[in-house]
Amino acid sequence: MEQFDIILKGNGNLEGAIARQRYFLTTADLADLNYSIPPWHGWGMGRPTKLYKAQDLVKRAEQKYGKEGFLEKLSQREEREKKRKLSYEKKEKEQQACESKRQKLLEACPEWGRQQLTDSASVGALAQKCSLEQLQQILVLAAEKSPLVIEALNAAKEEGLLPRKDFKQLHSKLARYFASDADEALKRSAEKAAQAAASQARQTELNSGIDGEWELKVTSNHPKVKGMKGELKIDEVGGPYFDDYEDYVDFGDGVYFGGLQNFKGKSSVEDRVMQIETKWKFCGRRVTGLLRVRVGEDGDGRQFVEGSFKAGAQERNWPVTLQFTGNRKGELEEDLEPEGDENDQEGLCEFLTELEEAG
C-alpha cells in the first residue's frame, strides 16, 4: 500500500513515544531493540532520549502482528483518522454557520450598545438607554457567562431593589448617574477604553522589543542581595518557547540563575507583565523558577526592564524572590562618556598649554 510507504520504508530514527504510537508497540516490545542517543545530549541533561531505527520498528511490528495483520492495523487507523477529520470538518462548518448567524443578528445592536463599559457611570448610562426588556436580557446573559455576576447580584440585589428615593439615601453618588447625560457618560467611557487599548498596544510593542542583553540591578532590601548585579539575555521573544542555553537570567555565583523555557500558561508579550518559566540545576536536582518582567520607557523614551525573579531554589537564609530593574547592556556606559568630539578635547588641551606657557 503506497500510502503507508513512509511507515514501511522509512530510514530515519524515531523517539520511543513516537515509535510506540506509529508501530503499535509497547515499551516491552522495544526493550531488546538497538537504539542510539542524540549527540547533543550531555551531563546534567537528565535521562537521555532513545532513538530507534525505523526499519527495526517495522520488523518488530511485523513479528508481533504478522505482515497482513500490521497492514490491517494501519488501514484501520487510517479509517479512524478519516472519520475524525470528517467529523471535525462538519463541526467546524456548523460553528462557522452559527457564528455567521450570530454576527448577522448582532448587526441590530444600537451603536451606543457597542461601546465598552469602563466604570459605574458608563453602566448607569447603559441602564438609562436600555429598555426593560433589554436590561432583563443583559442581566440573565451576564449571569450565564460568568458565575461572578451571580455573586455580585446576590451582594447587590437587596439594596438595588429599593425604591429610588431610598436608594438615593444609601448611594447618593450612584443614584446621580441615572439623572446624568447618558450619551456624555458613554462618550467618556469610550475615550477611556480607547486610552486603555492604546496603552496596552504600546506595552505589547515594548514587550515585543525585549530581545537582546540587559544589565540588571537588584532593588530588594535584603542585605545579602541588595545592589546585586545580574544580566538577562533573550535572543528572540516571538514564539512561546525559548532557547534555554542562549536565553537566561543570571545574578551570578550560581545563586540565582534560570534558563528561560516558555511563557507560563496563557502569558505572552500582550500582558503588562510577562511571566516566563525557567529551569536550572541546583544541588543536583532540576528546579523550576519564574521570571516576571515588563519593558517600560522613561520620559526621554529610553527603555528599561523591571520585574521579579524566583529561581525555585536558593541558599539558606537568602530571599526567595528578587526585585530588579535594568537597562540595555552598554547604555549606562554611553551616558558616562564625555560630551564633545576628540577635536574639541584636543583644542582644549592646546589652549591650556598655551595659557600655561604664557604664565
Residue 9 C-alpha cell reads as: 520504508
217 pLDDT above the threshold of 90: yes
The reported pLDDT for the residue numbered 355 is 54
Q: Are 193 and 115 in contact (CB under 8 A)?
A: yes
The reported pLDDT for the residue numbered 4 is 73
Regarding predicted confidence, which is higher, 334 or 226? 226
Confidence band, pLDDT 50/70/90 cuts, at residue 274: very high
The reported pLDDT for the residue numbered 293 is 94
Q: Are 115 and 130 in contact (CB under 8 A)?
A: no
Angle among Cα 352, 353, 356 to the nearest 5 degrees reads: 85
The reported pLDDT for the residue numbered 336 is 42
Q: What is the mean pLDDT of the chain?
A: 86
Count CB-CB contacts under 10 A for residue 229. 13
Instruction: Tell me, rounded to whole angstroms, the distance of Cα 185 from its chain centroid.
Output: 34
What are the tens digits of pLDDT across the range 244-261? Answer: 668 899 987 667 888 898
342 pLDDT above the threshold of 50: no
Count CB-CB contacts under 10 A for residue 178. 14
Confidence band, pLDDT 50/70/90 cuts, at residue 285: confident
What are the tens digits of pLDDT across the range 289-320? Answer: 999 999 999 888 889 999 999 988 877 788 88
24 pLDDT above the threshold of 80: yes
The reported pLDDT for the residue numbered 333 is 52
Mean pLDDT over 212-221 rounds to 92
Instruction: Tell me, rounded to whole angstroms, the distance of Cα 122 from its chain centroid.
Output: 31
The reported pLDDT for the residue numbered 252 is 77
Regarding predicted confidence, which is higher, 101 or 240? 101
What are the tens digits of pLDDT across the range 1-18? Answer: 556 777 777 778 888 999
349 pLDDT above the threshold of 70: no
Instruction: Report how far residue 132's alpha carbon sits from residue 130's, in angstroms, rounded to the nearest whole number.
Output: 6
351 pLDDT above the threshold of 70: no
Instruction: Report how far residue 117's alpha carbon sits from residue 231's, in angstroms, rounded to the nearest whole number.
Output: 41
Cα distances from 346 to residues 350, 354, 356, 357, 359, in angstroms, run 6, 12, 15, 17, 20
Rg (CA), the chain: 32
pLDDT cut 90: percent of the chain above it:
56
337 pLDDT above the threshold of 90: no
Mean pLDDT over 140-147 rounds to 93
Identify the three-state secondary structure at position 249: strand
114 pLDDT above the threshold of 70: yes
The reported pLDDT for the residue numbered 224 is 86
Mean pLDDT over 63-88 rounds to 93
What are the tens digits of pLDDT across the range 149-166? Answer: 999 999 999 999 999 999
60 pLDDT above the threshold of 90: yes
CA dihedral sign, ordered 209, 210, 215, 216 = positive
Amino acid identity of 187?
Answer: K
Quick check: pTM over 0.75?
no
Identify the three-state secondary structure at position 218: strand
